[in-house]
A and B are shown apart, each in its own frame.
Chain A
Amino acid sequence: MPFFKMSGVHAPHLKNTASMQPIRMDAPANVVIPMNMHIGAPAKPVVKAGDIVSVGQLIGEANGFVSSPVYASISGKVTKVDKVTCSNGAFADAVWIESDGEMRICEDIKAPVVTNFDEFVAAVRNSGVVGLGGAGFPTAVKLGVKDLSKVEEVLLNGAECEPYITSDTRTMIDRTEDIKEGIALLEKYLGVKKIIIGIEQNKPEAIAKMNGIAEADSRVSVKVLPSIYPQGGEKVLIYKLTGKIVPEGKLPLDVGTIVLNVTTLATIAAYIRTGMPLVEKCITVDGSAVASPKNLIVPIGTSIKDVFEFAGGFKETPKKVMFGGLMMGIAVPNLDQPVIKNNNAVLALNEKDAKRPEESPCIRCGNCVNHCPLGLNPMGFAKALAAKDYEELEALKVNLCMECGCCAFSCPAKRNIIARNKLAKSELRTYQMKKAEKEKEKEA
């Protein structure tokens, strides 16, 4: 096995809410449910203004192979179906629902019949579950393996390496049974012989709960990871748990591995038991501007304004609000943004924490290079980007950057490295596309 010295950074933990059991939020007055809460084709709305919907009712059907259905998260009346700009930057259809305050459960909800692999994958698809750790990739596509003999192990991601966030921690503690059921499903329908649960060492309670599962099932093991960000990155986790390296352009399955987030698995298990699809999400509400940090279970589509209000409001004027953690979170310009499937935290920061420090010139200290978990060279990216040298960007493999933020975190000059990496990746893609087109023309 090739050895790779994997680096990272000691990001602050700030797991203030780790011991707080999530509280179920009251139904908000209205929700906005986008159709593109996943990677792939947006779902197609199947309701129109004026329709009465109930919790768990299909409002958007999967539109293609890599897609995922969307369900109503509250009961009430559809007031509008229109375009919305989502926190992930996409512009797509969304369904506005005005609550009737009753949270009526849809009558069609019943546990799906699952007796074989195909039915299992179909159930996962119908559950509306996507990568809940943040990636948002439709889980049914991931699990719909054509050749099951290729699957050597399934890795359960409970690393939760981002500062503040504890929603996966709470899943492992409060929904241990769901995870256990999920593991049983994987063993039964995918024939998985080896399941490794990876958890960062700063979550003793979750580790104890998962150890409980491992003790009762010889196929399951728990591996405690050091609390070095980013243990939860997919390629990082695979390397840390199995020693396997996912080559460029390949998927985890190509090295015989499937990675599932613990909450993703728990949600699948719950759906197969009850038939209630993914309509709510446990999220951590925290940050230096938040009055009383807590974990909340919120209906998908709830505006973060309602979420913060329910959580107890702010103790200081919020100056930066984001979905996700401090390292990879997406800052949003207003509080109207709805909570989507793959959100696991909303943070609000005070003035002091919100302001990005000013950039100064690169002093070539090498922190970005030496802290990159994937062995990349952000210093080189910046130089090549400034020179518009796309061949060099290609050679430096900027495309492998997962934007984890270790480089920018450790940079003493506070360079806006992730912004440059994103730009470099996108410009390289454009360059490669143009190049491919030109070559095609030549051939023709």
Chain B
Amino acid sequence: MEENLYVSVSPHVFSKRTTQNIMLDVIIALCPAAIASVIIFGARSIAVIATCIICCVGFEALFNIIIKKKQTIADLSAVVTGLLLALNLPVSIPIWQAVVGSFAAIIIVKALFGGLGYNFANPAITGRIIMLIAFTDTMTAAAMPTIVDSVASATPLANLAAGEEVGASLFDMFLGLRGGALGETCVLALLIGGIYLIARKVITWHCPVAFIGTVFILSLIYTGSLEMALMYLFSGGVFIGAFFMATDYVTSPTTPKGQLIFGLGCGLITCLIRFWGSYPEGVSFSILLMNILCPYIEKLTMNKPFGGAAK
């Protein structure tokens, strides 16, 4: 009996939070948006979501087998990447392109950098950007909701950028009844998911509030009208970006102060691209750019040691 005692360094008790249940919480939080996408854009949404998840998990499993690394798919992070990527694609995306996007996200952005925890950029965001550049036509095609008779032929942001009428009411925009990527349109569903993550203490309010707040205030200044500012806020991918992509642990700062700056930067770059860039949407690019700046923000905003003497 005594010969078989475990000996380890303290502590000898651990919180119930694990990487796996954090990822599970993110998946749960994305469910409202995923369900909304099926309601809004029809059954093909399921095919796109399933493709991305299966491919992401499959590619990660395969990669681990090939390089003889311990299998990591049980941490569910590949599921999150797949789900997020799918929710960032239009419903009309060809399936093979979704497969390519999953490959880019999991293999190029995540696995080649060392897997979970070592990637410097958000895999889903970068996967989407790679697809946007490679498959510009299909990625920017305005996939329209199937549950309403829609006469519009472009996404609200494209309309806004072109100075045209949006063709959807603010309330429709809040519910997600407009053209756009699968999971980005239904603000209501994203808010429910975001609040769930904050309530579960998976994320804090700092980054999303800074991100959304910055976009709102800058849009208000730019357009000079509350309605138009809300139009800008509800269109594009601000909410999915602010709650689910900019808060990715691996690629964002750790302290509340750093997260505020990170969110602020995301909001600022998003608006710069939206108002003056050649792309109608800037959320993905803003997050990717801030991902790159993350180590510097982290260094500047790290907590100060208690009682530490100045050097």
Interface of A toward B, CB cutoff 8 Å: 4, 6, 9, 11-12, 163, 235, 239, 245-250, 305, 317-322, 324, 326-335, 347, 349, 353-357, 360-367, 369-370, 372-377, 379-380, 395-397, 400, 403, 405, 408-414, 416, 418-419, 422
Contact = CB atoms under 8 A, between A and B. Distances in A.
Interface string B1-32: 11111111111111101110110000000000
B225 interface: no
Contact of B303 (A330, A356, A375, A408): A375
Contacts of B17: 367, 410, 412
A1 to B, nearest CB: 13
Contacts of B304: 375
Interface stretch (B112-120, B124-132, B153-161, B278-286): B112-120
Contacts of B306: 4, 6, 235, 239, 245, 373-376, 400
B163 interface: no
Residue picked from B9, B18, B75, most chain A C-beta under 10 Å: B9
Nearest to A371: B15
A248 B255 contact: no
Contact of B5 (A12, A332, A373): A332
Contacts, number: 172
Nearest to A347: B12
Contacts of A362: 117
A326 B13 contact: yes
A409 B116 contact: no
Given A235-B307, A319-B4, A365 B14 contact: no
Given A327-B13, A335-B2, A412-B18, A361 B8 contact: no
Nearest to A375: B303
Given A326-B11, A377-B302, A365 B308 contact: no
17 contacts: A246-B307, A247-B307, A248-B305, A319-B6, A321-B5, A329-B10, A365-B22, A365-B254, A366-B249, A370-B255, A370-B256, A375-B303, A375-B304, A395-B311, A397-B308, A405-B11, A416-B8
A413 B18 CA distance: 6
Contact of B309 (A235, A247, A320, A419): A247
A215 B258 CA distance: 47
A318 B1 contact: yes
Given A329-B12, A364-B117, A418-B11, A400 B305 contact: yes
Contact of A333 (B7, B253, B256): B7
Contact of B6 (A305, A355, A414): A355
A163 B2 CA distance: 24
Contacts of B12: 320, 322, 326-327, 329, 331, 347, 349, 353-354, 356
Contacts of A373: 306
Contacts of A364: 117, 249-251, 254
**Chain B interface helix/strand/loop/mixed:** loop
A317 B13 contact: no
Interface of B: 1-15, 17-19, 21-22, 72, 75, 77, 115-118, 249-251, 253-256, 302-309, 311
A377 B295 CA distance: 14
Contacts of A395: 311
B259 to A, nearest CB: 9
A267 to B, nearest CB: 25
A363 B19 contact: yes
B15 A9 contact: yes
Nearest to B203: A365
Contact of A354 (B6, B19, B75, B251): B6
Contacts of A375: 303-306, 308
Given A354-B5, A354-B12, A416-B8, 14 more contacts: A247-B309, A319-B4, A322-B12, A331-B10, A334-B2, A361-B117, A365-B249, A373-B306, A374-B307, A375-B304, A375-B306, A375-B308, A405-B11, A418-B10
B308 A400 contact: yes
Contacts of A327: 10-13
Given A247-B309, A248-B308, A331-B8, A12 B13 contact: yes
Contacts of A354: 5-6, 12
Contacts of A245: 306-307
A41 to B, nearest CB: 26
B18 to A, nearest CB: 5
Nearest to A368: B254
A412 B19 contact: yes
Nearest to A395: B311
Interchain residue pairs A-B with the least CB separation, the first 4: A366-B254, A405-B11, A361-B117, A375-B303
Nearest to B117: A361
Nearest to B13: A326
B302 A408 contact: no
Given A319-B5, A364-B254, A369-B255, A11 B13 contact: yes
Contacts of B118: 361
A330 B3 CA distance: 17
A241 B105 CA distance: 51
Contacts of A369: 254-255, 302-303
Contacts of B5: 318-321, 331-334, 354
B7 A331 contact: yes
A326 B10 CA distance: 7
A411 B9 CA distance: 15
B216 to A, nearest CB: 26
Contacts of B311: 395
Contacts of B253: 366
Nearest to A5: B303
A153 B253 CA distance: 40
B8 A248 contact: no
A335 B255 CA distance: 43
A248 B309 contact: yes
A248 B307 contact: yes
A145 B62 CA distance: 67
A333 B7 CA distance: 6
A48 to B, nearest CB: 30
Contacts of A410: 15, 17
Given A331-B8, A361-B115, A414 B305 contact: no
Contacts of B22: 363, 365, 412
Nearest to A244: B307
A380 B255 contact: no
